[in-house]
Structure 1
């Protein structure tokens, strides 16, 4: 297969240590052994800790430790990106994937915090990229809780948008440094998304009104998506052998996309 990794025995002797490293990383990132599962759980915890730091960035940026934290996160993210590239069987193909390009952009903002400070709010989009890659949902799938994945994805989309919009509004409209200005931006974002009214905090000018409209429209759409994910009938994950459709009704006999007969296993079979 083009781009696949040859067996270690077929690799020239001087390249074998590198090939063994790639094989080890592949087992850790994609394997299902006990050691691999522990490694994947630790990697997920690190990812979530990084996202928490991204959320806290407006509060941390005026502290003496900010640059140390920023560069430390950059080092961890760079190691993770590099390790996943090595673990991939098609590293150059992986480099073209949107979630990887997003990680690289986030890495650049971490390496150049003073130059790209106005783009720092985009770092929270890493939460969305974790959701898209599926790493966030592996624990649910292993425990047989697939039915919770769709509502959880909807919650992640909403949370990502809330903090993305908050970061943009804080950077663009609120000049108060530290926690007070960030809380004002978060309050305005939640008030816009829930359409409950603004109270004493509004955005000035035509650009502010346009921002309010966009936040309200996207926020309402995400709330509708969340409601649909919670209340619509549950789906099961089962790959159709003919067309590849992965989500079906729990009692489906035929694939809705191609009509192929399905044999979905259940607890009673």
Structure 2
């Protein structure tokens, strides 16, 4: 009788069980997973509000406590994302990973990395890219305005990103909130190409900042206008050619003519 070798699977380690639980929470569609994702999205929203209101607060004890709580939350999210990834190298090369690391550094060492605090505006954009954002938009009955909302979020991200850079680079020395308001005023005037000229940025860096702001600002304005005026389309990949967007009442794919079966918004 031939010897039969028994194969037994190794018992899952604590790390494997942790990864499994995180995968269910972050990527699952169960009610518990959806609740967790909504809570994380609300936490991100609270973080964004804290970042936007940051210039209005002094560096008091309460501010530092909230600052370190947010740092712990972002560190937890970074660690969770790192455990969920299939390829650690791929996760490490993602731009948002390094943005979160930079944000974490500005929270833990505000005196050393204060010049990079404007990167916190990227949290607005990252929130709009989550599945929970799409779910909440559809549940609110605004599914047909999803592209418009995303375009608005992209514009706000750019607006506060430039405002933060201008503030930390040119107006940080001004006391109180006057510096932040001046930076926001300059950014809005430049993005809209109004150009009042009462506030200008000095030196070559100031001119380059103004040029980049105007170019990207106009592009985002055009993108926002297109999202508002163009007809609403649904996202439904064509089984034949893979075309993603179709008219809401489309029966055939306009690219290949394949018969579509697009479900209703309410189904």
TM-score normalised per structure 1: 0.83
Instruction: Tell whether 2:55 aligns with 1:58.
Output: yes
- Cα pair distance change 1:62/1:89, threshold 3 Å: closer
| Residue 217 (structure 1) shift | 2.2
- Aligned residues between the structures: 258
Tell me: CA distance 1:89–1:191, structure 2 relative to 1, closer, same or farther (3 Å).
closer
Match of 2:186 in 1: 188
Match of 1:125 among 114, 122, 127: 122
1:90 positional shift = 1.6
Match of 1:90 in 2: 86
Matches within 5 A, 1:110-189: 110-142=107-139, 145-174=142-171, 175-189=173-187
Give yes or no for contact 1:235–1:249 (8 Å, CA) kept in 2: yes
Larger radius of gyration: 2
Counterpart of 1:5? none
Displacement of 1:49 after TM fit? Answer: 0.8
Instruction: Find the aligned partners of 1:224 and 1:192 in 2 and give their Cα distance.
Output: 15
Q: What is residue 11 of structure 2 aligned with on the other side?
A: 12
Pairs within 5 Å for 1:233-248: 233-248=231-246
Cα shift at 1:144: 5.9
Tell me, yes or no, if the aligned pair for 1:58 and 1:177 is still in contact at 8 Å: no
Q: Secondary structure at the match of 1:56?
A: helix
- Of 214, 221, 224, which aligns to 2:222? 224
Measured after TM superposition, the shift of residue 81 of structure 1 is: 1.9
For residues 185-209 of structure 1, the C-alpha deviation after alignment (integer angstroms, 9 at most, x for no partner) is 1111111122334363222334323
Corresponding residue for residue 211 of structure 1: 209
1:256 is displaced (CA, Å) by: 4.8
Tell whether the 8 Å contact from 1:146 to 1:237 is kept in structure 2 after alignment.
no
Paired with 1:207 and 1:11, the residues of 2 have a C-alpha distance of 59
Alignment partner, residue 37 of structure 2: 40
Contact 2:102-2:116 within 8 A present in 1 as well: no
